[in-house]
Structure 1
Amino acid sequence: MAISDQVSMFYNAKPDIFEKAKALRKNMTFAELKLWELLKNKQVQGLRFRAQHPIDIFIADFYCHSLKLVIELDGGVHLSPEQKEYDIGREAEISHWGIKIIRFTNDKIEKEIDEVLNTINIMCNHRKLEMASSL
């Protein structure tokens, strides 16, 4: 992979973010592991998703570079007003790179995984059309 590809795929993430991402991959939550089992190895539309992927100063739970699509999973901590405010700011920063974010609660992953996968497939199709029309 050329260095320019790495810069664009990781959005100038610094080495410490890569270290944090590596640690997070080793300690994924139950919900993250459950979804990862369905996303890895190009099982969704032949698309490559990466787990705990560095983007600038952030780490996305799952990222598909070809669609500039982030999938975030939210546990109970995301219900606090402070965390909601942080998440809004984080989404604004990430969307600056032209990246779309979709969110699911851990509960939704654990109880309605088929619906989650359907939503992901719909969003992937939508992003393919958006990406094609922006060329």
Structure 2
Amino acid sequence: MTQAQGTAGPLSRQRERVRVRARELRRASPDAERALWRRLRDRQLGGYKFRRQHPVGRYFADFACVEAKLIVELDGGQHFEPGAMQADEARSAGLNSLGFHVLRFTDREALTERVAVLARILDWLTTHHPHPNPLPPAGEGVASLKD
């Protein structure tokens, strides 16, 4: 039986494993991730599309804006141990090698300073990857419609 006839090849099994793992990570996400996701989803931040627990290479990014090549990572307390800090540096270097920029914040920042975190993300996006089709400010273009 060929792959076109319905058998799943190794690539489709791998994709399914990635999909299942991402789903598990989303279900088990900490409060800080959930709180930040509520503000990033549905293009709420400057019209940019974010994905949660998005696979990038061999990693799962907490949040990824693929069009801008930006990854936002939230680090809990366990990330401040020496071994974990080295692993995070290697992870960031790996993501950078895939063409992504990584912004890291602590869970505490995401929970208590969410507005500042969102402002920093939006600042990076508008500086490094201006949105190609920004929405006009309210009221702009109304005069030309009346003429």
Shift of 1:126: 2.0
1:53–1:63 contact (8 Å) kept in structure 2: yes
1:14–1:57 contact (8 Å) kept in structure 2: no
1:132 is matched with: none
1:52 is matched with: 53
Alignment TM-score, normalising by the size of structure 1: 0.82
1:17–1:59 contact (8 Å) kept in structure 2: no
Total equivalences in the alignment: 118
Shift of 1:14: 5.0
Which 5+ residue runs of structure 2 have no aligned equivalent? 1-13, 131-147
Shift of 1:127: 2.2
Shift of 1:15: 4.2
Alignment TM-score, normalising by the size of structure 2: 0.76
Matched, 1:80 2:57: no
> Residues of 1 paired with 2:15 and 2:104: CA distance?
25
- Cα deviations by residue, 1:2-40 (Å, 9 ceiling, x for unpaired): xxxxxxxxxxx8543332111011111100000000000
Structure exhibiting the larger radius of gyration computed from Cα positions: 2
What CA RMSD, in Å, does the superposition of the two structures yield over aligned residues? 1.6
> Residues of 2 paired with 1:107 and 1:117: CA distance?
14
1:23 is matched with: 24
1:104 is matched with: 105
Counterparts of residues 33-44 of structure 1 (less than 5 Å): 33-44=34-45
- Cα deviations by residue, 1:100-134 (Å, 9 ceiling, x for unpaired): 000110001111111111101101112215xxxxx
